[in-house]
Structure 1
Amino acid sequence: MSDKQVEMSIVEHLGELRRRIIYILAVLLLGLVIGLVCANPIYKYLISVDSAKDFQLHAFAFWDGIGMYMKIAMVVALVLTIPFTAYQVWAFVSPGLREIERKAALRYVPYVFILFLLGIAFGYYVVFPMALGFTTTITKNMGLTETYGISQYFNFMFTLVVPIALLFELPLIVMFLTKLRILNPRRLRKMRKVSYFALVFIAVVITPPDFISDFLVTIPLLLLYEFSVYLSSVVYRKQLAADEAIEARYKQAEDPE
Structure 2
Amino acid sequence: MAKKNLSEMSFLDHLEELRWLLVRSTIAVIIMACATYFIADYLFDVVIFGPTRSSFFTYRFFCDLSHKIGFADSICINDLPFIIQNTEMEGQVNMFVWICLLAGFILSFPYILLQIWNFISPALYEKERKGVRVFIFFSSLLFFIGVVFGYFVVIPMSVNFVATFSVSSIVKNQFTLESYIGMFKTSILASGLFFELPIIIYFLTKLGLVTPKFLRKYWKYAVVIILIIAAIVTPPDVVSQLIVAIPMLLIYEASIFISILVHKKQLKANG
TM > 0.5 fold call:
yes
Task: Determine which of 116, 119, 124 is the counterpart of 1:89.
Answer: 116
Task: Determine which of 221, 230, 246 is the counterpart of 2:257.
Answer: 230
CA RMSD of aligned residues (A): 3.7
The residue type paired with residue 41 of structure 1 is Y
Q: Distance in 1 between matches of 2:142 and 2:162?
A: 28
Aligned-residue offset at 1:79: 0.9
Q: Distance in 1 between matches of 2:122 and 2:208?
A: 18
Q: Structure 1 residues 72, 160: closer, same or farther in 2, change over 3 A?
A: same
Partner in structure 2 of residue 253 of structure 1:
none
Larger displacement relative to structure 2 (121-130 or 79-88): 79-88
Gapped regions of structure 2 (runs ≥ 5): 1-7, 55-79, 236-240
Partner in structure 1 of residue 41 of structure 2:
40
Partner in structure 2 of residue 213 of structure 1:
233
Partner in structure 2 of residue 74 of structure 1:
101
Q: Trace 1:152-191 onto structure 2 (pairs within 5 A).
A: 152-178=179-205, 183-191=210-218
Higher share of residues assigned helix: 1
Partner in structure 1 of residue 177 of structure 2:
150
Q: Structure 1 residues 127, 102: closer, same or farther in 2, change over 3 A?
A: same
- 2:162 matches 1:135: yes
Larger displacement relative to structure 2 (223-232 or 187-196): 187-196
Q: Distance in 2 between matches of 1:151 and 1:184?
A: 41
Q: Trace 1:20-31 onto structure 2 (pairs within 5 A).
A: 20-31=21-32
Compare CA radii of gyration and give the structure with the larger one. 1
* Count of matched residue positions in the alignment of Structure 1 and Structure 2: 230
Task: Determine which of 128, 139, 144 is the counterpart of 1:112.
Answer: 139
The residue type paired with residue 93 of structure 2 is I
1:56-104 deviation line (CA, Å, top 9, x unaligned) = 4322222222122122112112213332222112112212221122234
Asked if the contact 2:205–2:263 (Cα under 8 Å) also holds between the matched residues in 1, the reply is yes
Asked if the contact 1:120–1:162 (Cα under 8 Å) also holds between the matched residues in 2, the reply is yes
Q: Structure 1 residues 230, 157: closer, same or farther in 2, change over 3 A?
A: same
Q: Structure 1 residues 212, 195: closer, same or farther in 2, change over 3 A?
A: closer
The residue type paired with residue 183 of structure 2 is F
Identity of aligned residues (%): 28
SS in 1 for 2:112: helix
Partner in structure 2 of residue 14 of structure 1:
15
Aligned-residue offset at 1:221: 4.4
Gapped regions of structure 1 (runs ≥ 5): 1-7, 248-257
Asked if the contact 1:31–1:80 (Cα under 8 Å) also holds between the matched residues in 2, the reply is yes
Partner in structure 1 of residue 57 of structure 2:
none
